Amino acid sequence: MRHLNELRSRIARLAAGSPRPSWIEGMTVFSTERVTEPLGTVAEPMLSLVAQGAKRSVLGDRIFDYNAGQYLVVTVDLPLTSQITHATPTEPFLAFGLPLQPALIAQLLVEGGRFVARPHDGPGIATSDADDRLLDAVVRLLRLLDEPRDVPVLAPGVRREIHWRLLNGPQAALVRQIGLADSQSTLVARAIEWIKTHYDQVIRIDDLADDVGISVSSLNRHFRAVTAMSPLQYQKQLRLQKARLRLITAPHDVAAIGHAVGYDSPSQFSREYKRMFGAPPGQDAARLQTVATVQEQMLEGSGP
């Protein structure tokens, strides 16, 4: 509990805009005093640790809730719908994020010798309780910001420790997949990069399988195991999430936005959009403009 209390205090201070002459590359902190609307995003491989409040992330029909003292790990780029589910002015939602580095995980797998971990047969996302050792490492990483000269020298070592704690924690089997060149997650990650590059085009699964270097049947099997959806379903979610983000800033350009993300048929775009978000594009965009959609306040290396 001591580590969690200090983590809350440090995240709150950073989120309040306290002066910070230095930052740690890739690290993020989040804060909001209100619950948020469900919004789509493509989450990259990362650790997301909640210090206070609660959050929900949805992948297809799978729901992942995590509260204070719990973390979520994502090991491949996944189209998630996320929202803050518990936050108040007196107890704002506070969270810490750090990208996961495949090269560092691969190095730790070599140096750490034989790892004993239960097989992971679910998607590339999971939640767990954070133990004292992981919380201690995260707190020590944030403490480095108090002494700017310490950051470039000591931060790499603490970042390495955080990865090590994850590799020896309850999600070890999932995390280690990131560092294995021939793992299921690595193969799917290559397929996802290809889809992200061609998301607004008609995708032939044969072409995608050729690019990854495996058979169509193997691609479909691995892809569904890691993402809980097929490659074409992944492409559709990616298209619709990108469309929704554009509609928030341009609510009157429904047809143009649908075409920009790959829909030649406005009716198909409207139908699939409504199926995913519960309302047609124009109606959903208008609602997003009028409701109190509270964005998480995020501070990162480039500034607030």
pLDDT at 290: 63
Q: Are 260 and 220 in contact (CB under 8 A)?
A: no
Report, as an integer, the average pLDDT of 196-205: 93
Examine the pLDDT at 215 and tell me if it is beyond 80: yes
- DSSP summary character for residue 300: B
DSSP string, 136-182: HHHHHHHHGGGSGGGHHHHHHHHHHHHHHHHHTSTTHHHHHGGG-TT
Instruction: For tokens 């964005």, name the residue.
Output: 295
Picking from 16-25, 78-87, 175-184, 277-286, which range would have the lowest pLDDT averaged per residue? 16-25
pLDDT at 248: 81
Report, as an integer, the average pLDDT of 199-228: 93
| Sign (positive or negative) of CA dihedral 251, 257, 258, 264 | positive
Helix axes 205-212, 184-197, angle to 10 degrees: 130
Cα separation, 102 vs 96, in Å, equals 19
SS3 294: coil
| Nearest of 108, 128, 112 to residue 50 by alpha carbon | 128
Picking from 62-71, 283-292, 295-304, which range would have the lowest pLDDT averaged per residue? 295-304
Report the chain's mean pLDDT, rounded to a whole number. 88
Confidence of residue 294 (pLDDT cuts 50, 70, 90): very low
Cα separation, 287 vs 290, in Å, equals 5
SS3 56: strand
Query: Over the stretch 223-238, which tens digit does the pLDDT of each residue have?
Result: 999 999 999 999 999 9
Q: Which residue has the higher pLDDT, 158 or 182?
A: 158
Q: Are 146 and 95 in contact (CB under 8 A)?
A: no
pLDDT at 33: 93
Q: For each of the domains in the chain, give its residue range(s) and CATH number, in order of start.
A: 2-180 (2.60.120), 184-290 (1.10.10.60)
H/E stretch holding 52 reads: strand 46-52
| Nearest of 180, 183, 179, 145 to residue 160 by alpha carbon | 179
Q: Under 8 Å CB-to-CB from 180, ≥6 apart: which residues?
A: 106, 109, 186
Query: Over the stretch 253-268, which tens digit does the pLDDT of each residue have?
Result: 899 999 999 999 999 9
Query: Over the stretch 23-59, which tens digit does the pLDDT of each residue have?
Result: 788 999 999 999 988 888 889 999 999 999 999 999 9
| Nearest of 297, 304, 298, 295 to residue 35 by alpha carbon | 295
Cα separation, 36 vs 294, in Å, equals 5
Cα separation, 220 vs 212, in Å, equals 12
Report, as an integer, the average pLDDT of 197-212: 93
Q: Which residue has the higher pLDDT, 119 or 155?
A: 155
**Cα 10 to chain center, whole Å?**
22
Examine the pLDDT at 293 and tell me if it is beyond 70: no
Examine the pLDDT at 181 and tell me if it is beyond 80: no
Query: Over the stretch 82-135, which tens digit does the pLDDT of each residue have?
Result: 999 999 999 999 999 999 999 999 999 888 876 665 666 779 999 999 999 999
pLDDT at 116: 60
Q: How far is CA 257 from CA 38, 62, 247, 279, in A?
A: 20, 28, 7, 16
Confidence of residue 75 (pLDDT cuts 50, 70, 90): very high
Q: Which residue has the higher pLDDT, 4 or 294?
A: 4
Cα separation, 275 vs 278, in Å, equals 6
What is the model's pTM? 0.85
Cα separation, 254 vs 285, in Å, equals 9
Instruction: For tokens 């809730």, name the residue.
Output: 65
**Cα 199 to chain center, whole Å?**
19
- DSSP summary character for residue 91: S
- DSSP summary character for residue 214: S
Confidence of residue 214 (pLDDT cuts 50, 70, 90): very high
